[in-house]
Amino acid sequence: MVTRKNQSALTASERAQYINALKALKKSPSQFNPPTTSRYDDFVYVHMQAMLIMKIIDPTKPVRNGNVKVTSDMRMPMWAHRCPAFFPWHRELLHQLESELQKAAQNPNLAIPYWDWSVDQRKDAAPWTNDFMGGDGADGPVTTGPFAGKANWELSLSEDGVDHLVRGFGRDSMATSLPTPNELTQALNISFYDKSPWSDRKSLGSFRNQTEGWHVAPGSSRAVGMHNLVHLWVGGTQGTMLPSTSPNDPVFFLHHCNVDRLWAQWQAQHSQVAPYLPKAALSGDPGQAWNEPMIFYDKNLSSTPPWLGPAVTPHDVADHHQLGYRYDSETTSVRAEEMTVGEKENPETDPLKQRPLKISPRDHFRRRLEELSSGNEPKGKSAGNH
Ligand SMILES: [Cu+2]
């Protein structure tokens, strides 16, 4: 069993090994055809497609401005965000990356570390050291650490034409501070995983929606919370962590490793309720049901799947121990049982999730947050509201 450690507890040689493995993947050939340039970029592309589908004009060129067709083909699928599959989808993404990193490092025990942002909040300390993630960019290019500048870490896929890492710690007015331990506890105390309308609706206070960050704890003055807040805090006003290509910043995986840890912790804390919902398929929202394969690529755009192996459902990944890893913060073992709580759902359709969106590639993440914080609830899903 592999142990995923708190990044602040890594030794210097563990940090070096992790960085080297990332760099090796960045130099390994893509297996996801088309159209990325390295194996690392395959993961960026999978994530980009899950948030945003664009036509890539020339698969041999980096996906930057001029090589992407932004037309009515462009749409925002809801395979992995603003929906129940948020946790299991990212769990599978990390699990696949971890196994690639293990191969690259020739170390079957190599694990993605997690960044507990409720504790490690300093801008000038781990994980932002010169021998690990590098530092802030003050809303501009990152200039320190192993990923500074195009020469060290070139972005092949980006929505905005930027080819290097950009960060702006705490520079977005909606995200001047990171989530607190109290906010983390509040999310973990929610007694149900998710519920109708299974969306990013601001009023939906499910464990998933609050931890993803579209819902904030009652009484909180935040515009956004938890997972979203961390993306915004790192990205600032124009950083790499904001658009659909956010896995370009390697800290993405440390962040999502912590998010994944929270799902495991929530399951341990609420062992009497379903570890995941919904049980039945949601009409119009594919890849969300307990036994439904999650979606990792658009078959119209890519001729091969991003990774080998059978289709993966939320059920397949709900118990992380069965995937062969644990967290160093675990004190009790997570149950390995079937979901027992059934429920009835009315299949619902969200036309918003299907129709093409006119939205700047640069801003879709931030803009959505701004919409929500200004009180504009999404249309659809509830009866009579179209
Ligand atoms: Cu994501």
Following DSSP, what letter does each residue of 52-101 receive, concatenated? -B-EES-TTS-BSTTSEE-STT-B---SSSSSTTHHHHHHHHHHHHHHHH
- Domain presence at residue 247: yes
Q: What spacing in Å lies between the alpha carbon of 92 and ligand 1's midpoint?
A: 11
384 CA distance to ligand 1 middle (Å): 31
Quote the ligand 1 centre to 79 CA distance (angstroms).
Answer: 10
- DSSP sequence for 152-188: HS--SB-SSS--S-EE-TT-STT-SSPPPHHHHHHHH
Q: What is the pLDDT of residue 379?
A: 37
Q: Is residue 381 domain-resident?
A: no
Cα(319) to centroid(ligand 1), Å: 20
Whether 274 is covered by a domain: the verdict is: yes
Range of the domain at 43: 2-373
pLDDT the model gives residue 355: 35
Number of C-alpha atoms within 13 angstroms, CB side, residue 183? 25
Q: How many domains, in total, are found in the chain?
A: 1
Q: What is the DSSP string of 289-309?
A: STTSPP--S-TTT-SS-SS-S
Q: Is residue 302 part of a domain?
A: yes
pTM for the model stands at 0.86
What integer pLDDT is reported at residue 69 of this predicted model?
64
Q: How far is the CA of 352 from the centre of ligand 1 (A)?
A: 19
Scan for tokens 């760099």, then name that residue.
23
For residue 379, being part of any structural domain is answered with no
Residue 3 phi, psi dihedral angles, 5° rounding: -110, 120
Spatial distance between the Cα atoms of 250 and 176, rounded to a whole number of angstroms = 21
**Phi-psi domain of 197 (left: phi exceeds 0; alpha: psi -120 through 50; beta: other):** alpha
d(C-alpha 271, C-alpha 336), whole Å:
10
Q: Please tell me the distance between residue 98's alpha carbon and the centre of ligand 1 in angstroms.
A: 16
- 201-207, long-range: CB < 8 A, 24+ apart: 201/377, 201/378, 201/381, 202/372, 202/375, 202/377, 203/377, 207/266
Tens of pLDDT along the chain (386 residues)? 999 999 999 999 999 999 999 999 999 998 886 666 899 999 999 998 888 877 777 766 666 656 666 554 556 788 999 999 999 999 999 999 999 999 999 999 999 999 999 999 999 999 999 999 999 999 999 999 999 999 999 998 887 789 999 999 999 999 999 999 999 999 999 999 999 999 999 999 999 999 999 999 989 999 999 999 999 999 999 999 999 999 999 999 999 999 999 999 999 999 999 999 999 999 888 999 999 999 999 887 777 899 988 999 999 999 999 999 999 999 754 444 333 333 333 334 333 343 333 344 444 456 666 666 665 544 333 323 23
**279 alpha carbon – ligand 1 mean position (Å):** 22
- Separation of 273 CA from ligand 1 center, angstroms? 25
Identify whether 347 is part of a domain.
Answer: yes
Answer whether residue 386 is part of any domain.
no
150: CATH = 1.10.1280.10
Look at residue 107 and tell me if it is in a domain: yes
